């Protein structure tokens, strides 16, 4: 595309940002949809987030994504915040409005859209969620918001799972999240469950690790969704498949969180056909 006097800029703030795939998503979409927009990474040093947001506003940047470690810190510098993002306490997308930026959490809406695209249901389901860190906590809020019947939240540290359960149950007004220790997985009633892997275990380069390695657990899983996409196939996913379940990695979540951000910035709706084209470009970074 030609960059000219009317080109709008979006970007990513975080530390580090060098390995991001977000430019692939947004610049591909801009090309496909004929939008005069570019997306670039902006490394921001610790302690400079407020300067970065104010600077972006002064430069009239159309929007920003926010990544590690600033997803919570950035909230203090926003004009407005969307309800889901507020409940989760993490923002990954800023949209410029009059007077400042509005914050959203498209990570969770992205996960939801990725699940819809794979025909995975949350409403009315009993779900196993592994982990209670930032990512799993956000997933627990999403599950409650989208009408899950029960979420067994299994974590290495019980107290963290309990804290998240109290918080999510309070926010949703229902007893949805049930905290447990990882090793208590055998206490989950017999049945087949959707299991969402939200810990950092199995992330490259520790590709042979899984947070649970007991096959008895995987017999209870009809579908496994790992939020990790590097490696392409995690040990958790392989266990699920070895026990007859279907397994998905987190790349579609990455794809859709980007698409939703793009839709917010440009006030458009991205077709599934274009989503597929972007997905293939992302996938090319992992599989030959």
Residues in contact with ligand ATR by the rule CB under 6 A: 131-136, 155-157, 160, 199-201, 211
Closer residue to ligand ATR, CB minimum distance, 156 or 222: 156
User: Can 71 be counted among the known catalytic residues?
Assistant: yes
Nearer of residues 74 and 211 to ligand ATR, judged by Cβ: 211
CB of 132 to ligand ATR, least distance (A): 5
Q: Which residue is nearest to ligand ATR (CB)?
A: 133
Nearer of residues 74 and 135 to ligand ATR, judged by Cβ: 135
Collapse the DSSP code of 202 into the 3-class scheme (helix H, G, I; strand E, B; otherwise coil) and give the result: coil
Count CB-CB contacts under 10 A for residue 166.
12
Distance CA 256, CA 270 (A): 10
96 forms bridges with which residues in the sheet?
101
Question: CB of residue 217 vs ligand ATR: minimum separation in angstroms?
Answer: 14
- Which residue's CB is nearer to ligand ATR, number 65 or number 155? 155
Of residues 126 and 200, the one with the C-beta less far from ligand ATR:
200
Shortest Å distance, C-beta 71 to ligand ATR:
9
**Rounded-to-10 torsion of CA 25, 206, 210, 88:** -40
CA 250 – CA 237 distance, rounded (Å)? 11
Minimum distance of ligand ATR from residue 37's CB (angstroms): 29
Q: How far is CA 6 from the centre of its chain?
A: 31
- Candidates 71, 102, 220, 252; catalytic one: 71
Tokens for 277?
């084209």
Closest to 53 (Cα-Cα) out of 71, 33, 35, 32: 71
Return d(Cα 168, Cα 139) in angstroms, integer: 10
Residue spans of alpha helices (H) in the chain:
22-33, 49-58, 83-88, 106-117, 134-145, 158-172, 215-218, 235-242, 251-266, 272-283
Residue 157 beta carbon to ligand ATR: minimum distance, rounded to whole angstroms: 3
Give yes or no for a contact between 255 and 118, defined as CB atoms under 8 angstroms apart. Answer: no
Q: In the bound complex, what is the minimum distance in angstroms from residue 227's beta carbon to ligand ATR? A: 8
Which is nearer to ligand ATR, 105 or 266 (by Cβ)?
Answer: 105
Distance of alpha carbon 76 from alpha carbon 239, whole angstroms: 41
| Number of C-beta neighbours around residue 151 at 10 A | 28
Active-site positions read 71
């Amino acid at each position: 595309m030609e960059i000219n006097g009317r080109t709008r800029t979006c970007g990513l703030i975080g530390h580090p940002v060098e390995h991001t795939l977000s430019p692939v998503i947004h610049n591909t979409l801009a090309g496909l949809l004929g939008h005069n927009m570019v997306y670039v990474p902006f490394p921001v040093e610790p302690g400079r987030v407020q300067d970065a947001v104010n600077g972006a506003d002064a430069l009239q940047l159309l929007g920003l994504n926010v990544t590690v470690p600033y997803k919570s810190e950035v909230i203090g510098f926003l004009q407005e915040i969307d309800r889901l993002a507020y409940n989760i306490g993490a923002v990954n997308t800023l949209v410029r409005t009059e007077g400042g930026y509005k914050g959203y959490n498209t990570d969770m809406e992205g996960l939801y859209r990725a699940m819809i695209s794979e025909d995975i249901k949350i409403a009315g389901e009993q779900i196993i969620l592994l982990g209670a860190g930032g990512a799993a906590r956000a997933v627990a809020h999403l599950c409650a918001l989208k009408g899950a019947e029960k979420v067994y939240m299994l974590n290495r540290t019980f107290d963290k799972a309990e804290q998240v359960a109290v918080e999510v149950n309070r926010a949703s007004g229902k007893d949805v999240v049930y905290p447990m220790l990882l090793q208590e997985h055998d206490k989950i009633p017999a049945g087949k469950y959707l299991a969402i892997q939200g810990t950092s275990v199995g992330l490259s380069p520790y590709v042979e690790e899984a947070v649970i390695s007991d096959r008895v657990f995987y017999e209870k899983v009809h579908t496994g969704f790992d939020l990790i996409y590097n490696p392409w196939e995690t040990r958790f996913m392989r266990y699920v498949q070895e026990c007859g379940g279907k397994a998905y990695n987190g790349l579609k979540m990455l794809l859709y969180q980007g698409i939703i951000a793009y839709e917010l910035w440009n006030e458009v709706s991205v077709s599934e056909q274009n989503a597929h084209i972007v997905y293939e470009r992302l996938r090319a970074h992992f599989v030959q």
